[in-house]
Amino acid sequence: MSIRLPRGTQDILPGQVEKWQLIEEKARELCANFQYSEIRTPIFEHTELFLRSVGDTTDIVQKEMYEFKDRGDRSLTLRPEGTAAVVRSFVEHKMYGDANQPVKLYYMGPMFRYERPQAGRYRQFVQFGVEAIGSADPAIDAEVIALAMSLYGSLGLKKLKLIINSLGDKESRNAHRQALVDHFKPRIGEFCSDCQNRLEKNPMRILDCKQDHDHELMKNAPSILDYLNTNSKIYFNKVQQYLTNLNIPFEVDSNLVRGLDYYNHTAFEIMSDAEGFGAITTLCGGGRYNGLTEEIGGPEAPGIGFAMSIERFIAALDAENIELPIKNEIDCYLVSLGEEAKDYTVGLLHKLRLAGFSAERDYLDRKIKAQFKAADRSNAKYVAVLGEDELKANKINLKSMATGEQMEIELETFIDKLAELI
Ligand code: HAM
């Protein structure tokens, strides 16, 4: 029996991986412009970290974690998301003491959730995310959203919808929470057992329930926006004002509840509304998480961030029929004829590569015609032909594949000549 890859994972093969590399490169470039530095945290963390941050009533913690005991009987979990680890690291390394505040970080790497796999939903997926920790200025909320939108825009995505909401501060949330309990309690028996558990622990999670989504009580559930206190309203208005200043269109949707518990104030999602995009349209999600550093044992440091998966980014590009500008060409292919010339190209190829050229030669002892075909397949800009006669005369024949022009060059000056041409 042959072994296949685990459900919900994928191999990213040459031909596809170039898209990933381009997105990653763009993300890094943009992060440099926006002044976010890369952070790399472990793939697994103590399970406790996610219980405390993502929240023990969320689907992620209750149903989706890859949790295991190591040989020392510690409970560890493959990270389902990046924020918890970044905030843990921020606290652990006392970054709150750094001179530069807020601390602005980005990360890229695999995350793991035991979800039901379908188009756009994997069990291992790669997130690019940013976190700005140490400022409660609504301008940084706008900056974070602008970064995500700019990244999508830089690769040509147009059919995007930004949805924002405010979950308010603690006081607003408590008032909303009470209203939700009053609303759902009399008929909670009609809801799933998860929701029944959520009622007292975290009634907002009921709004995010996939099972009871269509229950009539969902439609007229109390809206958080009606419970925002003055400070929360002022904050939310500022965020909207800044987005407008940045010419970033958005919609306010009071039903936007995120799937993780650490949020307050700004919450947002970016969706694709391209035709033909699958059922899962959320490309990116994020929001503010004031209070999370304290939850993880650090001092107060308000934060905000987002994460997006590269898988869904690529799906959105495909849905909009966007071809990424990916070059798959090489500078020079060495074609050789005869044993001595073949031997010579081993060293010559190495010299070319060390001089900074992308270069290739034949390793299958192919006839000259097949070597030319291989050169074609690798989109070589130049093909250099070395036969026994050329070698004796210390010459090499160089052909430009774009113009068909051929020239005979002294072997000693070959690399310099190629540098001139390319
Ligand atoms: P999230 O909404 O759980 O938020 O995930 C963010 C993004 O990760 C989603 O919008 C989607 O692009 C991608 N994603 C999530 N699950 C999957 C999956 N199974 N397959 C493919 N892509 C997926 C967070 O993770 C928060 N940590 C975001 C954040 C950062 N909030 C503040 N800072």
- Model confidence over 321-360: pLDDT tens digits? 999 988 889 999 999 999 999 999 999 999 999 999 999 9
Which residue reads 């799906």 in tokens? 315
Which residue's C-alpha comes closest to atom 33 of ligand 1?
305
Q: Is the CB of 305 under 6 A from ligand 1?
A: yes
- What CA–CA distance (Å, rounded) separates 194 from 200? 11
CA of residue 308 to ligand 1 center, whole Å: 6
- What CA–CA distance (Å, rounded) separates 233 from 21? 41
Q: What is residue 279's predicted lDDT score, i.e. its pLDDT?
A: 77
Which residue's C-alpha comes closest to atom 30 of ligand 1?
306
Which residue reads 């490309």 in tokens? 283
Task: Give the H/E segment covering residue 37.
Answer: strand 37-38
Which residue reads 């924002």 in tokens? 164
Rg of the chain over all Cα atoms, to the nearest angstrom: 28
CA of residue 257 to ligand 1 center, whole Å: 13
- Contact criterion met (CB below 8 Å) for 198 and 180: no
- Contact criterion met (CB below 8 Å) for 298 and 97: no
Low-confidence ranges of the chain (pLDDT < 70): none
The per-residue pLDDT for range 381-403, each reduced to its tens digit, is 999 999 999 999 999 999 999 99
CA atoms in the 13 A half-sphere facing the CB of 12: 13
- pTM for this model (two decimals): 0.94
CA of residue 319 to ligand 1 center, whole Å: 20
The DSSP string of 283-327 is: EEEEEE-TTHHHHTTS----EEEEEEEHHHHHHHHHHTTPPP---
- What CA–CA distance (Å, rounded) separates 49 from 202? 19
Pocket-testing residue among 53, 64, 107, 111, ligand 1, by greatest number of atoms within 8 A of Cβ = 111
Task: Give the H/E segment covering residue 165.
Answer: strand 160-166
CA-nearest of 207, 200, 209, 249 to 224 is: 207
CA of residue 281 to ligand 1 center, whole Å: 12
- What CA–CA distance (Å, rounded) separates 82 from 42? 10
- Contact criterion met (CB below 8 Å) for 149 and 101: no
Q: What is residue 409's predicted lDDT score, i.e. its pLDDT?
A: 95
Through-space distance between the first and last CA atoms of the chain, rounded to whole angstroms: 50
- Alpha carbon of residue 329 to chain centroid: 27
CA-nearest of 29, 246, 260 to 128 is: 29
Atom of ligand 1 nearest to the CA of 127: 8
Q: Is the CB of 284 under 6 A from ligand 1?
A: yes
Pocket-testing residue among 45, 54, 81, ligand 1, by greatest number of atoms within 8 A of Cβ = 81
**Apex CA 153: angle with CA 152 and CA 154, to 5°?**
95
Pocket-testing residue among 20, 208, 312, ligand 1, by greatest number of atoms within 8 A of Cβ = 312
- What CA–CA distance (Å, rounded) separates 324 from 335? 31
Domains of the chain: 17-169+229-319 (3.30.930.10), 330-421 (3.40.50.800)
- What CA–CA distance (Å, rounded) separates 64 from 235? 33
- What CA–CA distance (Å, rounded) separates 276 from 320? 9
- Give the torsion sign (CA, 249, 254, 260, 262): positive
Strands 251-252 and 75-78, how do they pair? unpaired
- Contact criterion met (CB below 8 Å) for 300 and 293: yes
Instruction: Write the Ramachandran bin of 76: left for phi over 0, alpha for psi from -120 to 50, otherwise beta.
Output: beta
- What CA–CA distance (Å, rounded) separates 173 from 170? 5
